[in-house]
Chains A and B, each alone.
Chain A
Amino acid sequence: MFGRVCSKLALLRTSTALANLESAVGQATLATPFTRRWDGSAAPAASSQEGEALSSTFKKHAPSVHNTPSAPWTPTDQLRKRKHLTKRMGHLMQVLESEQMDVNTRVQTFPRFSAGDFLEIKTAVPENQRREAVFKGLCIARKWRGWRSTFTVRNFITGGGGIERTFQLYTPHILQIKVLRSMQTRRAKLYYFRNRQPREYRI
């Protein structure tokens, strides 16, 4: 690529653009051999001040090996880049979900919690006429899927029985999550508590 660039620049040696470029980098010699770096930028074979400066100029316009768009880019560019319909739709879904996550995290801030934490969750659901209700229990699972992330809380109520509830993390119905205490766990998913005595996980 850069071999072709150099040859083209040699042809356009009299153009003003090239003159500007040369003046900008001083007395750069375009005949200096360039080697390609891992990120697609050009590096001079022998490190020199002019070579470094020239390489940074070329780096600005270097093609990215990982195909990331160079700023400024537009959403339509991202869609045009994807040739298949399912990939375009997949990208749209990704963008919409990350936007929605952004909206929710501006309003809802939850503490860091994981499986093994005893949680107190305040909810206000439309089924309950938006009254505040509290659900306590042990978090036995956290599922990380971006906007579709969930967490499962298990509890045992004396006189009622065991109850397990899976919440959508980014639902506006959750008002607050509080971590009451933590237990040491060696697992990400604590489904084994379903077969354990309730006194081990009830709160």
Chain B
Amino acid sequence: MIGSGTFLDVTDNSGARVVQCINQSGTAWRVGDTITVAVKSASKGKVTAGSVQKAVITETRKEFKRADGSTLKFDKNACVLVDPKGQPIGTRVLGFATHELPTVIFAIVGLGTFVSVLMTSTAKKLGAKQEAPSMEDRMKIFDQPSTKK
């Protein structure tokens, strides 16, 4: 739940370190939402401190729900900077990336990033495991007669 005034850590290599959400107050935003931020501190990189950027929230301390009812939460609020069109400014995501993020962000998710549930295309190229059986095939097991007592 990121609101107006929230400080977020930046988990990409765009140069920014800490940003502050400067959206209009009244609502709160979650993982995957795009917000407007003011860069508070930055190291040498593509963005400078004091600039206004757009960011996609990648991590929140407030838990978010998945469709099956499971929840997920992180220890910090973090984001990744994007340009007004939505393309990421940095070239690597250094923190967590979840399925709630837009697809363009995943293009820059590398092997070094721990992705909570996704196997990146790079990992697959390096000989990752085969796909698990589809959900339909796995649900068919429930239709089989039970062999247990």
Q: State the A residues within 8 Å of B (CB).
A: 103-104, 106-107, 123-133, 135, 150, 156-157, 159-168, 171-173, 175, 194
Residues of B near A123 (CB, < 8 A) are 117
Q: Which of B21-29, B40-48, B65-73, B81-89 contacts A (4 or more CB under 8 A)?
A: B65-73
Residues of B near A168 (CB, < 8 A) are 68-70
Majority SS at the chain B contact face: loop
* B94 on the A face (CB < 8 A): yes
Residues of B near A159 (CB, < 8 A) are 94-95, 112-114
- Please tell me if the beta carbons of A131 and B131 are within 8 angstroms of each other in the complex: yes
User: What number of A-B contacts does a CB cutoff of 8 Å give?
Assistant: 105
Determine the distance from Cα of A59 to Cα of B79 in the docked complex, in whole angstroms: 71
Determine the distance from Cα of A126 to Cα of B119 in the docked complex, in whole angstroms: 13
**Which one, B68, B96, B142, contacts A160 given CB within 8 A?**
B96
Q: State the B residues within 8 Å of A (CB).
A: 59, 63, 66-76, 78, 94-96, 99, 112-114, 116-119, 129, 131-135, 138-139, 141-142, 146, 148
Determine the distance from Cα of A163 to Cα of B59 in the docked complex, in whole angstroms: 10
Determine the distance from Cα of A126 to Cα of B136 in the docked complex, in whole angstroms: 11
- Please tell me if the beta carbons of B114 and A165 are within 8 angstroms of each other in the complex: no
Residue of A nearest to B9 (CB): A161
Given A106-B146, A160-B96: A167 touches B70 (CB 8 Å cut-off): yes
Determine the distance from Cα of A14 to Cα of B103 in the docked complex, in whole angstroms: 88
- Shortest distance between the CB of B4 and any CB in chain A (Å): 24
- Please tell me if the beta carbons of B96 and A161 are within 8 angstroms of each other in the complex: yes
Residue of A nearest to B136 (CB): A130
**Which one, B70, B74, B95, B114, contacts A166 given CB within 8 A?**
B70
**Which one, B96, B129, B132, B139, contacts A175 given CB within 8 A?**
B132
Determine the distance from Cα of A164 to Cα of B76 in the docked complex, in whole angstroms: 11
- Please tell me if the beta carbons of A160 and B114 are within 8 angstroms of each other in the complex: yes
Residue of B nearest to A100 (CB): B142
- Shortest distance between the CB of A190 and any CB in chain B (Å): 16
Determine the distance from Cα of A160 to Cα of B109 in the docked complex, in whole angstroms: 13
Determine the distance from Cα of A172 to Cα of B139 in the docked complex, in whole angstroms: 8
Determine the distance from Cα of A58 to Cα of B63 in the docked complex, in whole angstroms: 59
- Please tell me if the beta carbons of B95 and A161 are within 8 angstroms of each other in the complex: yes
Determine the distance from Cα of A167 to Cα of B116 in the docked complex, in whole angstroms: 13
Smallest CB-CB A-B distances: 3 pairs: A162-B75, A127-B99, A124-B132
6 other contacts beyond A125-B68, A168-B70, A171-B70, with CB at 8 A cut-off?
A125-B117, A128-B117, A128-B118, A130-B131, A164-B75, A168-B69
